[in-house]
Amino acid sequence: MNVYDPAYQEFIARLRRARGEKGLTQVQAAKLLKKPHSYISKCELGERRVDFVEALKFAQIYGKSVLFFSKNLHD
């Protein structure tokens, strides 16, 4: 799957949504993950692919189940 795949685009939309629902800026999220701000930005823009372990870390800091990021299981 490439970053232009509709399912991946949905994933990154949910990544942005989860951060917003948690009330975090990209800078705050980056600090929680001990990553540079550019890491969050690139992940949310689809410039950097997020692997499963990273998705688990995002889910943890955003207070979401990893299933939240799945297009077919929610909404």
Ordered alpha helix ranges (H), 23-65? 26-33, 37-45, 52-62
pLDDT given at position 74: 46
pTM: 0.87
Q: How far is Cα 46 from Cα 43, in angstroms, rounded to an integer? A: 5
CA atoms within 13 Å, Cβ hemisphere of 16: 11
pLDDT tens sequence across 4-47: 788 889 999 999 999 999 999 999 999 999 999 999 999 999 99
Q: Which residues 6+ apart lie within 8 Å of 4 measured at CB?
A: 46
